[in-house]
Amino acid sequence: MEQHNHNHKHDKPEHAHSHQHDATHANHTNDGPDKKAEENGTVSSAPQPDARAAETAESAHHTQKKEEQKSEHQKDREKIDELKSSLDAANDKYLRLMAEFDNFKRRTAKEYQQLIEQASEKLMKDIIEVRETFERAFKAHKEGADEQPFMEGMKMIFSKLDAVLHKHGLEVYCEAGQEFDPQLHDAMMKSAHDKIPEHHIAEVLEKGYKLRGKVIKHSRVIVSSGKPAAPVQPAPEGDAEAKAAFEAESGLSPEDEPEPTCP
């Protein structure tokens, strides 16, 4: 019994030694080629698993980036096409509006010309009646006849003509005694006047005319410069009262008058 146990104890170290020897041999066997390759300066060209995965990931990232750039480029192209379409539509609308505006100007000018012609036609028809009245008056008047009825007829025709012109917007202005207005009157000269104050119309040379409130012809007038200066009468010599009155009126005495110089 003791012998059997002794033998068993001796067998265990041998078994362990055998396993240790096998592991050492395996290590030498596995390390041999790599170690020799490292000693010779050469490395195996086969890619490692980690490097291959990194390369695959980088390729995938590059492909994704290209796709994103392509998508952005496509969006830019679509935006440019949209802007071009909008620009073409706006340009076409502008051209149509310009053509319509030109037609409107031509049509308006034509209508305005027609209105002027129609207004002139109405005025001419009314004046024709006055002209025919003048012809009838001249035919009825005989030389040597009484002039009073003829003059009355002329006044009536003149009133009719004035009414026709007023009907078509003509207004006659400017009367003596009115205040002078340079916007309405043309002053030909100034003249003293006993009754009309300064800067008022003393005499009307030509009447002024307005057409619907607009001055189409200024009147020509003479403007008053005020009352004329009163002449100073010299006091008679030897009359004291007259001399005193002269001094009071003129503020001078006969002695103050300059002596006449001989030539």
The structural domain count of the chain equals: 2
Regarding whether 176 and 164 lie in a shared domain, the answer is no
Q: What pTM did the predictor assign?
A: 0.49
Residues contacting residue 141 through CB under 8 Å, at least 6 positions apart: 150, 153
For the chain, the straight-line distance linking the first and the last C-alpha, in angstroms and rounded, comes to 197
Taken in order 65, 68, 72, 77, is the CA torsion positive or negative?
A: positive
| 76 CB neighbour count, 10 Å cutoff | 10
User: Residue 184 is part of a domain; what is its CATH number?
Assistant: 2.30.22.10
Backbone φ, ψ for residue 222 (5° rounding): -110, 130
* CA 229 – CA 193 distance, rounded (Å): 10
Structure token pair of residue 201: 């119309």
* CA 10 – CA 16 distance, rounded (Å): 11
In this structure, is residue 22 part of a structural domain?
Answer: no
Distance of CA 257 to the CA centre of its chain: 71
Backbone φ, ψ for residue 226 (5° rounding): 100, -175
* CA 185 – CA 187 distance, rounded (Å): 6
pLDDT lower than 70: segments of the chain: 1-49, 231-263
- What pLDDT was estimated at residue 162? 92
* CA 89 – CA 82 distance, rounded (Å): 11
Q: Give the domain-ending residue among 130, 147, 168.
A: 168
Quote the domain boundaries for residue 140. 69-168
Q: List pLDDT tens digits, range 193-222.
A: 889 999 999 999 999 999 999 999 999 999
In this structure, is residue 62 part of a structural domain?
Answer: no
- What pLDDT was estimated at residue 252? 53
Q: Which residue has the tokens 């059997």?
A: 4
Regarding whether 187 and 161 lie in a shared domain, the answer is no
Q: List pLDDT tens digits, range 124-150.
A: 999 999 999 999 888 888 777 788 888
* CA 101 – CA 106 distance, rounded (Å): 9
In this structure, is residue 50 part of a structural domain?
Answer: no
* CA 111 – CA 106 distance, rounded (Å): 9
Q: Give the domain-ending residue among 117, 149, 168.
A: 168
